[in-house]
Amino acid sequence: MKNETGATTAKCIGVLGGLGPYAGLDFVHKVFDCTNAATDQEHLPVLLYSFPNAIPPRVEFLLGKTTINPGYAMGELLVRLAKAGASVIGIPCNTAHSASILDVALDILYKSGFQGQFVHMIAETANHIRTAHPAAQNVGVLCTQGAYHSKVFDMHFNRYGLNVSYLEDEGRALLQNAISNSSYGIKAFSSPVTDRAKNDIGLQAAHLAEKNADCIIMGCTELPLALSGTDFQGIPLLDPTKILAESLIKAFDATKLKHNH
Amino acid sequence: MKNETGATTAKCIGVLGGLGPYAGLDFVHKVFDCTNAATDQEHLPVLLYSFPNAIPPRVEFLLGKTTINPGYAMGELLVRLAKAGASVIGIPCNTAHSASILDVALDILYKSGFQGQFVHMIAETANHIRTAHPAAQNVGVLCTQGAYHSKVFDMHFNRYGLNVSYLEDEGRALLQNAISNSSYGIKAFSSPVTDRAKNDIGLQAAHLAEKNADCIIMGCTELPLALSGTDFQGIPLLDPTKILAESLIKAFDATKLKHNH
């Protein structure tokens, strides 16, 4: 039967989700949206590991509030993804791309013998900006306190000649709360997102716009759950999860990428 | 490191998705919605195999238009799910629960040595009706032509003393098109669903209401992408994917089930 159906060993796009759970689903939704398909059979095979319970908090580690590096659990899950058939892997979480976390995770993945491709969301985003917005110089980034402190955006964007601007202290604290506050943040209330979280995020995006950002990055995968559209007050609004979705499709089977989506 | 994080061997809820792709995501969304959790770490581990390309069409097989039984590919994917850690498994597709398909798939799963639990969506739905709507006698079912011909709803609902009513020939054909027509059906246009598909489904639900249904079942996992709410013209509107989501959580960790959701 194995040779007949091909389902036993077929390779797939692997997604390490759960960071958070709804952001992982939102990401897979974008993979489907960006795939040229009118029937079930025309869609690509996708494997999603959503194990949020197994992965310690990223922001707390990056801020030094805990010494438990979530990169270890992420690495083990990446190995599970690879062993389960993933040949092209992405992680829809900006904060988890911080070097002190991601380097640990990828080290475990590659030491396991993984021969496939890991697609780096933030590097892909920088590359996308250079291609799609060649005149951009100043990129405004909405992100967690963890990603801010780890300088993960600076590291990858600076390589492409892009400057990064962030919110001031108070704005970053408000944004972090809109993401993770247990009484109104997106992680606790994703479906639907609360008006308070939406309003706070909109206000902070406006602050970045005032700083003359040439484009604004939704640099936390929870943000596209609250903010939509392709521009904010006329400034391009970029979604790294959409960019990663397109990059994973290109890496897995470029003929399936839907253009002009 | 294995013992430290637990991520290497942790068991999870397994979802055989891809039938279709968006319906699979909609289902996992409901698992998250029905879970008591305010942080990422409080959510349950979920594994989604969305391999729509590997699974031949269900309706065509049930109508005798092809002899390729999709149960074989489904069985192989169930084995992959189990080997990847799933201890409690569900399939968010009503049509695929037809005995001629599901029996083949489960036979492959159990012969592989699976020791976990498969949760049967349609049996769970029948049980739910008996509990939540004890006076119900006549259940109106909106479903594919395949599920209609396989009598999968009759088989499981009759056991609980429930009669099943369906649409007439013309209505079933219109409903099947609203699901799978390549120019306006939900499988081709899920995000967003077309107005034509929504309108046609609403009209067919109204026809079932006229047949004195005590409740109406959205008996195809694409339908909740087009129809929402808990009643239709005052008649309880039941969503088997929501019932399966709750049943999987109960089977995996009953303490995590959100009540009164």
For the packed helices B169-180 and B195-210, what is the interaxial angle rounded to 10 degrees?
A: 150
Residues of B in contact with A53 (CB under 8 A): 10, 40-45
| Mode of pairing for the β-strands spanning A235-238 and A215-218 | parallel
Best of B5, B8, B180 to mutate (most A CBs within 10 Å, chain A):
B5
Report how far residue A141's alpha carbon sits from residue A228's, in angstroms, rounded to the nearest whole number: 15
Interface of A with B in 61-100 (CB under 8 A): 72-74, 76-77, 79-80, 83-85
Q: Which of B19, B40, B42 shows the shortest C-beta gap to A19?
A: B40
In 3D space, the residue among A72, A61, A94, A53 whose CA is nearest the CA of residue A179 turns out to be A94
- Structure confidence at residue A260 (pLDDT): 63
- Structure confidence at residue A2 (pLDDT): 43
Query: Is cis: bond before B134, omega within 30 of 0?
Result: no
CATH architecture, range A2-120+243-256: 3-Layer(aba) Sandwich (3.40)
**Which residues partner with B231 through β-bridges?**
B236
Query: What's the gap in Å between the CA of B186 and the closest CA on chain A?
Result: 9
- Is A40's Cβ below 8 Å from some Cβ in B? yes
Domains in chain B: boundaries: 2-120+243-256, 121-239
Query: What's the gap in Å between the CA of B161 and the closest CA on chain A?
Result: 35
Residues of A in contact with B182 (CB under 8 A): 38-39
pLDDT averaged over chain B? 94
- Structure confidence at residue A7 (pLDDT): 82
Decide: A62 and A98 in contact? Cβ < 8 Å.
yes
Query: What's the gap in Å between the CA of A161 and the closest CA on chain B?
Result: 35
Is A7 within 8 Å of B190 when comparing Cβ atoms? no
Report how far residue A121's alpha carbon sits from residue B106's, in angstroms, rounded to the nearest whole number: 38
- Structure confidence at residue A3 (pLDDT): 42
In this model, does residue B171 exceed pLDDT 70?
Answer: yes
Query: What's the gap in Å between the CA of B57 and the closest CA on chain A?
Result: 8
Query: What's the gap in Å between the CA of B158 and the closest CA on chain A?
Result: 31
- Is B236's Cβ below 8 Å from some Cβ in A? no
Residues of B in contact with A56 (CB under 8 A): 41
Reading the block at residue A139, the tokens are 């990129």
In which residue ranges of chain A is pLDDT below 50?
A: 1-3
- Structure confidence at residue A38 (pLDDT): 87
Decide: B87 and B11 in contact? Cβ < 8 Å.
yes
- Structure confidence at residue A4 (pLDDT): 57
- Structure confidence at residue B34 (pLDDT): 97
> What does the pLDDT look like over A208-236, one tens digit per residue?
999 999 999 999 999 999 988 899 999 99
A2-120+243-256 and A121-239: identical CATH topology: yes
In this model, does residue B261 exceed pLDDT 90?
Answer: no
Count the neighbouring beta carbons within 10 Å of the beta carbon of residue A177.
Answer: 16
Q: What burial class does residue A196 get, using C-beta atoms within 10 Å of its C-beta: 0-12 exposed, 13-18 middle, 19+ buried?
A: middle
Instruction: Name the maximum alpha-carbon separation found in chain B.
Output: 61
CA atoms within 13 A on the CB side of B106: 16
Is A182 within 8 Å of B57 when comparing Cβ atoms? no
Report how far residue A41's alpha carbon sits from residue B51's, in angstroms, rounded to the nearest whole number: 8
- Structure confidence at residue A9 (pLDDT): 82
Distances (CA, A) of A51 to A102, A193, B41: 17, 22, 8
Is A38 within 8 Å of B72 when comparing Cβ atoms? no
- Total beta-carbon pairs less than 8 A apart between chain A and chain B: 181
> What does the pLDDT look like over B48-93, one tens digit per residue?
999 999 999 999 999 999 999 999 999 999 999 999 999 999 999 9
- Structure confidence at residue B2 (pLDDT): 43
Reading the block at residue A46, the tokens are 């996708």
In 3D space, the residue among A41, A54, A35, A45 whose CA is nearest the CA of residue A13 turns out to be A45
Is A80 within 8 Å of B85 when comparing Cβ atoms? yes
Report how far residue B89's alpha carbon sits from residue B114's, in angstroms, rounded to the nearest whole number: 11
> What does the pLDDT look like over B28-54, one tens digit per residue?
999 999 999 989 999 999 999 999 999
Distances (CA, A) of B224 to A26, A85, B230: 17, 30, 11
The ipTM is 0.94
Report how far residue B237's alpha carbon sits from residue B228's, in angstroms, rounded to the nearest whole number: 9
- Is A182's Cβ below 8 Å from some Cβ in B? yes
> What does the pLDDT look like over B90-116, one tens digit per residue?
999 999 999 999 999 999 999 999 999
- Structure confidence at residue A74 (pLDDT): 98
Fold of B121-239: Rossmann fold (3.40.50)
> What does the pLDDT look like over B147-164, one tens digit per residue?
999 999 999 999 999 999
- Structure confidence at residue A261 (pLDDT): 55
What SS3 class is residue A54? helix
